[in-house]
Chain A
Amino acid sequence: MAERNPKVVGFCCEEHGIECANLAVRSGKQYDVSVRLVRVPCTGRVDGIHILKALEDGADAVFVLGCLEKNCYYDTGSIEGRKRVDYVKSMLSQVGIEPERVEMFNASSSMAWKFSEIVSKMTDVAKRLGPIEPRGDGQ
């Protein structure tokens, strides 16, 4: 059987997150092909349901990349985003899924080096943990 490709989804805010990724690639960084970036206007828009649906649809790890908390384009958006992500993490640990599959990061649009770190961290998590195993005890 061929090795399964890991799947990582990244919700990036349009103002800083996606710009951080763009700067990284435009300065020559290569990252893992399994990473799928999805634009959201602000990380405050990301709801728990989006992260959970992504995991349900087959993502092995999900990260949310927002502005630095003191320099958020929408002032408090990335703080709200972090609250949402923390809530999802606590929910995941309750149902027996590793909470480190979901992570929130902050970067400004000029922190290209940080994007590579984030992506390598999340692809490592996805490769290490593999696909989400349904619990056998029928709960």
Chain B
Amino acid sequence: MKRSIQVVICRICSGAANVLDTDKLLRVASEAPYVGSAIAVDYACNTKTIAQIVEEAKDKEIDRLLVVPCSKNEVSPALFQSYKRKAKINEFLMEAVDLVSEVVLPHRDEPSKAQAKAEAKLLAAIARMAMLEPLQKGSEEMRTKNVVIIGAGVAGVEAAKRAAEAGLHTILIEKSDKEVKAPGVVMPRSRLISAKGHAGNYELTIEAGEKMEALECGAVIVASGGDWSEAKGPLVRACPEAKPLYKLAQELSSGNIPKGGVVIVDTPDPKADTTPAQDFAWEEALQCAIEIKKRESGTDVCLMFQEMRALGLAELSYKEAAELGVRFVRYDKKRPPKIDSKDKNRIVVIDSAQEQAIAIAFECLYYASIAPNPDNMAIAEALRIPMNDSGGVRRGSMQKGPIATPRPGIFVCGSAQFPRSEEMSRLEGRAAGALAAQFVSTGTVEFGGSVAEVTPEKCSACLTCVRTCPYEAPFIGVAGKAEIRLQLCQGCGMCVGICPSKAIELHNYTDDQLSAEVASYIGGDF
């Protein structure tokens, strides 16, 4: 294979000139094997400079590019694009070496050592670049541009509205037959049974009434929500008249105001043995307290909490409630509030702000309690996405966004990611709608590139890769050997690292390439 590398060092942006000797770097680079051309430019993002670099690449029949830019994430896309189009270089044969973050910034005080390190780093990158192989990406048309939303609660309806604003067809799946005001199609009394396919082309099986229906869609939003629950805890058992918070909200909306003092506790189980403290319910609790105080200012209202998390604008409700005279008592879960054994209408608690026990008389006791949707398990199982400890659907890494699941094309919003407050659900619903719309409206899904590939001769079909992959990309094919579904592979290389027969390789991160880079990097003495 003919290999000719062009090394481009950006003098100004890389800041290298301050610490490093770029001429020496260029000399070292040009003497390295397979380097066809090495140039230093002043601004590698300048259009004229790019044209000049590309001209040189064409003249010298360059087939791969190594650029030393200001930072790995800030390489001018124009540089790579013009290389791809004009010099016809494969996009996987272009890489950036981040000398700034790895050498210039951390070793400013030791210029001579930094120079040696920069040279070693550059040579290691050249050694790696010489071994890279050109790769192709595949793409697939989306068959439909539907977005399926599971659950027509606060989050689901909001997601449907946002996706519809972006011009997409939305299908809402709702298990009850409640009236739903949302754009697109609403399927009442239906639930998700199973799902096949991959991002962009999911095939869902829906049970609608008595019939089974097949549904194709580009993206799925899980908005299964939570349920108000009447979960009981020690506090509630001691005071049988205690009611869940949603009953208070219902009473208030129908115009009844509780008589006498009101105490709202953040959980039915203050010791948190069974139910964790329901921090997210504070918005509703604050709203109820304000409502009572506004209508009947003489009523004593006391909120008892472990930690107040009034998010965003709810902070204003917190302030308003405090101004109206609502009493806030903070307790520690090691010293939980207890009902007075002599008087059923008195609650005794150690206020952690004042470090002293106080007794509060009440007529009505309410507790915040929301349970995760019991259907979450079935939904997660059908869509093959993980669940979190509290019974909700778990989101993926925060870098993929707060509402993305590990599987591309599946989003989760609202109380499905148990627990969430109503305002938060609404916001997350909008975000999920927007992201699903962004994902689907491209109309094509790209896959392939730097992904894993199995060498069938080496495979012993031990199923290790099948078990390890979080995306379920490997499977045992008809030949009895492992195969990788390109559309599902994300290119993490977990199967490659774990394969006991070394039958899988991750393109452009093969064992040889990594070892060559490491060996060359260690070789430098500094």
Contact = CB atoms under 8 A, between A and B. Distances in A.
Interface of A: 5, 7, 9, 15-16, 21-22, 24-26, 29-31, 33-34, 36-38, 40-42, 44-47, 49-50, 53-54, 57-59, 67, 71-77, 80-81, 84, 108-109
Contact of A71 (B398, B468, B519): B398
3 cross-chain pairs, A with B, having the tightest CB-CB distances, nearest first: A45-B493, A44-B494, A74-B492
Contact of A45 (B113, B121, B399, B509): B509
B107 A15 contact: no
A117 B91 CA distance: 37
Given A36-B120, A41-B450, 4 more contacts: A26-B105, A45-B497, A73-B400, A80-B498
Contacts, number: 130
A25 B515 CA distance: 26
A71 B102 CA distance: 25
A54 B72 CA distance: 24
Interface in B362-421: 386, 396-400, 406
A42 B450 CA distance: 13
Given A36-B521, A72-B397, A45 B526 contact: no
B450 A53 contact: no
A75 B396 contact: yes
B494 A42 contact: yes
Contact of A77 (B109, B114, B492): B492
A30 B71 CA distance: 17
A108 B397 CA distance: 10
Contacts of B490: 74
B354 to A, nearest CB: 35
B113 A49 contact: no
Contacts of A59: 518, 522
Interface in B10-35: none
B101 interface: yes
B386 A75 contact: yes
19 contacts: A25-B101, A26-B105, A33-B110, A33-B117, A36-B121, A36-B522, A38-B514, A40-B509, A44-B492, A44-B497, A45-B496, A45-B509, A53-B515, A67-B397, A75-B397, A76-B468, A76-B494, A77-B470, A80-B468
Contacts of A81: 497
A59 to B, nearest CB: 6
Contacts of B355: none
Contacts of A72: 397
Given A22-B101, A30-B106, A73 B399 contact: yes
Nearest to B520: A57
B494 A30 contact: no
A44 B493 contact: yes
Contacts of B120: 36
B397 A45 contact: no
A37 B517 CA distance: 11
B511 interface: yes
